[in-house]
Amino acid sequence: MPPQCSPPRGGGSRHGGLATREACGRVTVRPVERPERDLAVQVYLLEVLTGLGVTFRHFFLNLGRHAAKLLGVDGEPGSVTIQYPEDPPALGSRARTRHRILRRPDGAPRCAACLLCETVCPARCIRITAEESPEALIEKRARTFEIDLGLCVFCGYCVEACPVDAIRMDANDLDLPAFDRKDMIWDLRRLMEET
C-alpha cells in the first residue's frame, strides 16, 4: 500500500503538486559527486593547451587533405560540408520535404475537405475552403487548398491526421525556396503536380 499522503495544507496552494510530494516524503535525492578538480584542471592553461592541440591537429590535417585534393591525390575529404545546390544532400528515405495531394482513380483530388489537417497543423499554415461535391457518394471536396510552406515546420502531422490518406510528403524534394513569400504558398494545382 502506498504511504498515506496528507493533502497540502492551506488549500489551493499554487505549488500544490510540490507540497504533496514533500508531504509524502517521497522525493528521491540522488547525490551527485562533484568532479575532483586537480591542479592540472585548476591551472586552466594546461587545458587550453590540450584544446589548442585538438584544434591545431584538425587544422593541419584538413589543410593537408585540401592540399592533397588540389594536387589530385585521392584520400580523405578535408571537410564534411555539402555544397548544396551543386551537390544535393541525400536525405533519409523517411525525411519530410514537400507536400503532395494524392488523386482518386478518376484524377480528382482525394481530399474530403474534413479540415483535420488544418486543425492539427501546429504552424497553422493550411487553409482549406470546402464545397459540396457533385458526386453522389462523396459529401464534400476542397475548393481551395493552400499550404504556406514558408510557415510549415514539416512536422508531418497533417499526413498523420488525414483520414483518407489524401496528403503525403515527399522524401527528397528540397527545391522549395522562392524569392517572394507569396510564392511559398502552394495551391491545389501545385500540390498535385507530378514532378
Partner 1 sequence: MSVLWVLAKVAGGLGFGMIWAAFLGWVERKQSAVMQDRIGANRADILGFKAIGLFHIIADPIKLFTKEDFVPQGVRKAFHAVAPSISLGFPLLALAAFPYGGTVEFLGRPWSLQPVESPMGLVLVLGMVAVGIHGVVMAGYASNSYYGLLGGLRGASQMIAYEACLAATMAGAVFLFGTLDLAEAVAWQARMIGGVLPAWGIVLQPLGFVLFLIAGAALTKRTPFDLPEGESEIVGYHVEYSGMKFGMFMMTDLIESVVVASLATTLFLGGWHVPFLTAPGVSGAGVALPPFMGSALPAGLHGPILAALMLGSFTAKVALVLFVLMQIRWTLPRFRFDQLLDLGWKNILPLALANFLVTAWAIYLAKAWGIHIWG
- Tell which one of 8, 78, 150, 156 touches partner 1 (CB under 8 A): 78
Three-state secondary structure call for residue 146: strand
Report the residue number, 111 or 192, with the smaller CB distance to ligand SF4. Answer: 111
Residue 190's closest CA among 145, 125, 124, 143? 145
Query: 97: which residues sit within 8 A by CB, 6+ positions away?
Result: 91, 154, 169, 170, 171, 172, 173, 174, 176
- Tell which one of 98, 167, 186, 191 touches ligand SF4 (CB under 6 A): 167
Query: 182: which residues sit within 8 A by CB, 6+ positions away?
Result: none
For the bound state, the minimum distance from the C-beta of residue 125 to ligand SF4, rounded and expressed in Å, comes to 5
Q: Which stretch binds partner 1 (CB under 8 A): 23-31, 44-52, 116-124, 153-161?
A: 44-52
- Alpha carbons 145 and 111: distance in angstroms, whole number: 9
Residue 56 binds partner 1 (CB under 8 A): yes
Residue 89 binds partner 1 (CB under 8 A): no
Using a 10 angstrom Cβ sphere, with 0-12 exposed, 13-18 middle and 19 or more buried, the burial of residue 39 is exposed
- Alpha carbons 177 and 92: distance in angstroms, whole number: 20
Query: Is the four-CA dihedral 16, 21, 22, 23 of positive or negative sign?
Result: positive
- Alpha carbons 86 and 105: distance in angstroms, whole number: 37
Report the residue number, 13 or 50, with the smaller CB distance to partner 1. Answer: 50
Taking CB within 5 to 8 Å according to partner kind, which of partner 1, ligand SF4, none is near residue 136? none
Beta bridge partner(s), residue 185:
148
Taking CB within 5 to 8 Å according to partner kind, which of partner 1, ligand SF4, none is near residue 81? partner 1
- Tell which one of 5, 52, 153, 171 touches partner 1 (CB under 8 A): 52
Report the residue number, 66 or 124, with the smaller CB distance to ligand SF4. Answer: 124
What are the residues binding partner 1 (CB under 8 A)?
A: 45, 48, 51-52, 54-56, 58-59, 62-63, 66, 78-81, 83
Q: List residues near ligand SF4 by CB under 6 A.
A: 111-117, 120-123, 125-126, 128, 147, 152-158, 161-162, 164, 166-167
